[in-house]
């Protein structure tokens, strides 16, 4: 555990302790808390994945990120107690708290609902109720119109822990008897059963950064078919998506691995030949593009892409062709997109997710959100669509042809490329990774560090047996390429057969035979000497990187230490472990935008939300010394940020030893004036025994998430004399 005493934070330094409690074996867990009192670590992280098994029961998936183990638990939907502690980490990691701190969003919905709910006999349906804010707004507006006892408000919230919290908020505001709450998906509601009649008014907020990813289209289709009257009123009324062409070297590095690795000249080929066999997934990627303001060149004015009218049944698929006039010479690497909500039918209330640097265009209507610009927020970002390959050259005043299409859950673009080629289904040996990992794999310094460490480790070993303990295809290629006589065993816990098929596809280009590589579909705890043909393991290597775990906290990558421990009986006496160590580091940060978005709730547009603060892990003005959990963020995308101290080492994990409990303590001395909102925490991986090759995952690296622990109250600090 990690503690910060509030009595120590007013001066120049702050005392910090950190303890990692862990067991040897598959039930290892760990977590980090900064607070004044210890709390037991959760046994596992619950994921937002449920399966209904009966009217009052549901399955919920529980995942332990340090072991990869998961299990389905049965949850009783009738239980009315507050959400249990195991749900808090999950709910704290959602966007609810940030969304409820978005004043511009809340105000826009209030204005639009007040203008829409004017008929006292209205039947209002809220889909995806969350804390019930929109339902309460509708009930209040209905009462103001004289409709109390005549009209009705129904709310559905499918996620059980959230639905329970909805009821708590309604009780706290005296609304429990004015709003019917259903713990169901909207497509499970039936008129004449749950609903007395079709609804006249739909209020909803089922939007993600791309707009469509939370199932907006199928939800609206079902609602119009089964739950709403003909020509209903809706809030929002309409959504419009926009885009802009940009040149950006950072965005180019995040998708064009083939070109970038050609410049590394290290002889290892992740993308040999002309076909990009390892790439980002062809989709829109959510990103805080305000942080890119100084690193992009706008190559066009904003252009309108699609309109989606909530008041009528949407189409499942559409396509449009857009002619874009280039406004500057450059190379189009990406399309950055966002959306604008028109919340009322009169067209007077808007909300926009556009980045702050978007210029108004005389040819395109880009309305501002109500009452001016919104604050930084994390619940909705912009989206980046990477233009394939090296991108598209653009000359000022040139007209570029863009084809945009959407299905039920996503929008895609095709710019000056062969549609037939771009739409082909990927082969079985094609891997897709997140943009940040693609950028790492094309980074010359990153690759050089890994290659150098492996080369040094293999020095003097004639025919070593090596295990790649994680999902690193790069390390499997490096070991096989550097030492032809080596035997490589890859665990690939997340990639599995796809990883093997990929290696087979690139083997010839890297001059090794697949006869020397074996993919074992077993957990480390099940591996035996028979699997190794009675040969001890000389090398255990990892990045560490686990496919599908990219959103985890930094120390949850200590799964590598757990795997290495389980492999202990199979290791030779002189076995080399890479990385050799992990060093937990931290620094004090000023993060005013992030802290504001995570601060405790009181009045939200006239409704008390204080009952949700503990469950959502809020910070600021809480009873006693409550403190929210540490959460993963890309610090460089967290709005304004500034380091207030040097980087401190808090704990050292020695991977040559079996996993064990650790304890660390340090004092932080502030080196800059400012307001301390919390700490950024990460792990630096030491690759070699001499500690000469170190890979940092700190805030300077844009390709790793850091853990961010916010203080319960910000503190003014200064370095002093």
Mean pLDDT of 149-160: 92
What is the per-residue pLDDT across 612-660, written as a single tens digit (0 to 9) for each? Answer: 998 999 998 766 666 778 999 999 999 999 999 999 999 999 999 999 9
The total of structural domains in the chain comes to 5
Mean pLDDT of 267-293: 91
- Which of the four pLDDT bands, split at 50, 70 and 90, describes residue 17? very low
Domain harbouring 487, CATH code: 3.40.50.150
- Which of the four pLDDT bands, split at 50, 70 and 90, describes residue 179? very high
- Which of the four pLDDT bands, split at 50, 70 and 90, describes residue 485? confident
Least confident of 250-264, 352-366, 468-482, 526-540: 352-366
Question: What is the model's pLDDT at position 687?
Answer: 96
Question: What is the model's pLDDT at position 253?
Answer: 96
- Which of the four pLDDT bands, split at 50, 70 and 90, describes residue 274? low
Together in a domain, 247 and 120: no
pLDDT reading at 35 higher than 80: no
Together in a domain, 403 and 474: no
Q: Tell me the pLDDT of the chain averaged across its residues.
A: 85
Is residue 437 included in any domain, yes or no?
A: no
Together in a domain, 136 and 77: no
Is residue 286 included in any domain, yes or no?
A: yes
Over the Cα atoms of the chain, what is R_g?
27
pLDDT reading at 293 higher than 70: yes
Question: What is the model's pLDDT at position 75?
Answer: 58
Is residue 102 included in any domain, yes or no?
A: yes
Together in a domain, 562 and 591: no
**Residue of 82 and 118 predicted with greater confidence:** 118
pLDDT reading at 57 higher than 60: no
Together in a domain, 463 and 559: yes
**Residue of 87 and 465 predicted with greater confidence:** 465
Question: What is the model's pLDDT at position 52?
Answer: 39
Give, in order, the Cα–Cα distances in Å from 95 to each of 158, 244, 334, 669. Answer: 16, 26, 26, 33
Together in a domain, 254 and 224: no
Structure tokens at 223: 């609602």
Structure tokens at 340: 């604008």
Pick from 516, 549, 578: which residue ends a domain?
578
Question: What is the model's pLDDT at position 549?
Answer: 81
Give, in order, the Cα–Cα distances in Å from 420 to each of 14, 229, 386, 411, 417. Answer: 60, 42, 18, 18, 9
- Which of the four pLDDT bands, split at 50, 70 and 90, describes residue 23? very low
> From CA 686, how far away is CA 662, in angstroms rounded?
17
Spell out the long-range contacts of 544-547 with Cβ–Cβ below 8 A and sequence spacing 24 or more: 544/469, 544/470, 544/472, 544/579, 544/685, 545/437, 545/470, 545/471, 545/472, 546/68, 546/470, 546/471, 546/493, 546/494, 547/433, 547/471, 547/493, 547/494, 547/495
Q: Give this prediction's pTM.
A: 0.89
Question: What is the model's pLDDT at position 2?
Answer: 35
> From CA 484, how far away is CA 480, in angstroms rounded?
6
What is the per-residue pLDDT across 387-397, written as a single tens digit (0 to 9) for each? Answer: 988 889 999 99
Together in a domain, 616 and 520: no
Is residue 421 included in any domain, yes or no?
A: no
Question: What is the model's pLDDT at position 483?
Answer: 83
pLDDT reading at 53 higher than 60: no
Mean pLDDT of 500-513: 91
What is the per-residue pLDDT across 509-518, written as a single tens digit (0 to 9) for each? Answer: 999 988 888 8
Is residue 514 included in any domain, yes or no?
A: yes
Together in a domain, 105 and 69: no
> From CA 523, how far away is CA 637, in angstroms rounded?
36
Is residue 50 included in any domain, yes or no?
A: no
Sequence length of the chain is 721
Pick from 218, 235, 252: which residue ends a domain?
235
Mean pLDDT of 158-184: 94
Together in a domain, 227 and 144: yes
Pick from 550, 578, 606: which residue ends a domain?
578
Could you list the residue range(s) of the whole structural domain that residue 289 is in?
239-416
Contacts of 384 (CB under 8 A, 6+ apart): 251, 254, 284, 285, 286, 287, 289, 334, 335, 336, 337, 435
Together in a domain, 398 and 319: yes
Is residue 25 included in any domain, yes or no?
A: no
Q: Answer yes or no: are the C-beta atoms of 610 and 601 closer than 8 Å.
A: yes
Is residue 425 included in any domain, yes or no?
A: no
Catalytic residue numbers? Answer: 205, 214
Q: Answer yes or no: are the C-beta atoms of 88 and 580 closer than 8 Å.
A: no
> From CA 571, how far away is CA 26, in angstroms rounded?
19
pLDDT reading at 703 higher than 80: yes
Mean pLDDT of 381-407: 95
Cβ burial, residue 412 (10 Å; 0-12/13-18/19+) = middle
Together in a domain, 216 and 328: no
Q: Answer yes or no: are the C-beta atoms of 156 and 127 closer than 8 Å.
A: yes
**Residue of 82 and 46 predicted with greater confidence:** 82
SS3 readout for 223-280? HHHHHEEEEEEEECCEEEEEEEEEECHHHHHCCCHHHHHHCCCCCCCCCCCCCCCEEE
Contacts of 696 (CB under 8 A, 6+ apart): 585, 682, 684
Cβ burial, residue 16 (10 Å; 0-12/13-18/19+) = buried
- Which of the four pLDDT bands, split at 50, 70 and 90, describes residue 14? very low
Together in a domain, 322 and 303: yes
What is the per-residue pLDDT across 199-258, written as a single tens digit (0 to 9) for each? Answer: 999 999 999 999 999 999 999 999 999 999 999 999 999 999 999 999 999 999 999 999
Domain harbouring 701, CATH code: 2.70.160.11
Structure tokens at 707: 């853990």
């Amino acid at each position: 555990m990690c503690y910060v005493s509030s009595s120590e934070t007013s001066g120049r330094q702050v005392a910090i302790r950190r303890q990692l409690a862990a067991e040897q074996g598959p039930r290892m867990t760990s977590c980090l808390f900064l607070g004044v009192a210890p709390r037991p670590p959760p046994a596992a992280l619950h994921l937002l994945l449920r399966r209904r098994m009966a009217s009052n029961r549901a399955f919920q998936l529980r995942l332990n990120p340090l072991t990869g183990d998961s299990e389905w638990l049965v949850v009783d939907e009738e239980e009315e107690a507050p959400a249990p502690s195991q749900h808090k980490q999950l709910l704290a990691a959602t966007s609810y708290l940030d969304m409820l701190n978005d004043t511009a969003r809340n105000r826009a919905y209030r204005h639009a609902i007040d203008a829409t709910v004017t008929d006292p006999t209205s039947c209002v349906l809220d889909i995806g109720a969350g804390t019930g804010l929109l339902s309460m707004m509708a009930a209040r507006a209905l009462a103001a119109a004289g409709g109390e006892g005549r009209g009705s408000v129904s709310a559905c919230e499918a996620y059980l822990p959230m639905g329970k919290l909805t009821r708590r908020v309604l009780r706290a505001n005296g609304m429990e008897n004015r709003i019917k709450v259903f713990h169901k998906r909207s497509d499970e509601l039936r008129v004449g059963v749950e609903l007395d009649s079709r609804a006249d008014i739909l209020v909803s907020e089922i939007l993600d950064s791309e707009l469509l990813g939370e199932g907006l289209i199928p939800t609206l289709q079902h609602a119009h078919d089964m739950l709403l009257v003909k020509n209903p009123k809706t809030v929002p009324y309409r959504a419009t998506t926009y885009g802009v062409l940009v040149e950006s070297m950072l965005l180019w590095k995040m998708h064009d691995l083939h070109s970038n690795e050609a410049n590394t000249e290290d002889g290892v080929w992740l993308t040999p030949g002309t076909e990009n066999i390892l790439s980002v997934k062809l989709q829109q990627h959510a990103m805080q593009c305000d942080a890119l303001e100084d690193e992009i060149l706008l190559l066009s004015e904003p252009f309108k892409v699609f309109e989606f009218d909530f008041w009528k049944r949407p189409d499942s698929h559409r396509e449009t062709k857009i002619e874009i006039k280039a406004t500057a010479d450059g190379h189009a690497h990406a399309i950055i997109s966002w959306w604008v909500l028109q919340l009322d039918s009169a067209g007077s209330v808007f909300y926009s997710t556009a980045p702050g640097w978007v210029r108004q265009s005389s040819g395109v209507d880009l309305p501002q959100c109500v009452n001016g610009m919104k604050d930084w927020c994390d619940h909705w970002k912009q989206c980046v669509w990477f233009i394939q390959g090296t991108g598209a050259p653009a000359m000022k005043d040139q007209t570029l042809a863009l084809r945009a299409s959407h299905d039920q859950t996503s929008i895609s673009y095709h710019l000056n490329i062969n549609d037939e080629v771009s739409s082909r289904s990927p082969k079985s040996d094609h891997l897709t990774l997140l943009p940040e990992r693609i950028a790492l794999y094309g980074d010359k310094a990153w690759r050089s560090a890994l290659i150098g460490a492996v080369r040094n480790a293999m020095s003097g070993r004639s025919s070593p047996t090596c295990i790649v303990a994680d999902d690193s295809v790069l390390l499997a290629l490096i070991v096989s390429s550097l030492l032809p006589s080596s035997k490589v065993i890859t665990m690939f816990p997340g990639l599995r057969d796809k990883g093997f098929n990929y290696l087979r596809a690139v083997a010839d280009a890297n001059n090794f035979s697949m006869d020397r590589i074996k993919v074992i579909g077993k957990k480390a705890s099940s591996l035996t000497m028979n699997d190794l043909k009675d040969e001890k393991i000389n090398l255990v290597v990892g990045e560490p990187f686990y496919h599908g775990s990219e959103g985890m906290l930094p120390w949850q990558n200590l799964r590598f230490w757990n795997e290495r421990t389980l492999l202990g009986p199979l290791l030779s006496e002189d076995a080399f472990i890479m990385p050799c160590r992990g060093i937990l580091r931290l620094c004090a940060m000023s993060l005013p935008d992030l802290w504001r978005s995570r601060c405790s709730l009181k009045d939200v547009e006239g409704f008390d939300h204080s009952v949700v603060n503990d469950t959502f892990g809020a910070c600021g003005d809480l009873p006693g010394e409550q403190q929210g959990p540490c959460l993963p963020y890309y610090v460089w995308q967290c709005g304004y940020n500034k380091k207030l101290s040097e980087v401190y080492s808090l704990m050292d994990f020695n991977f040559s030893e079996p996993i064990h409990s650790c304890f660390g303590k340090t004092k932080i001395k502030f080196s800059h004036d400012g307001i301390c909102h919390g700490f950024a925490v990460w792990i630096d991986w030491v690759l070699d025994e001499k500690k000469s090759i170190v890979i940092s995952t700190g805030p300077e690296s844009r390709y790793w998430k850091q853990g961010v622990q916010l203080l319960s109250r910000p503190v003014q600090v200064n370095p002093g004399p």
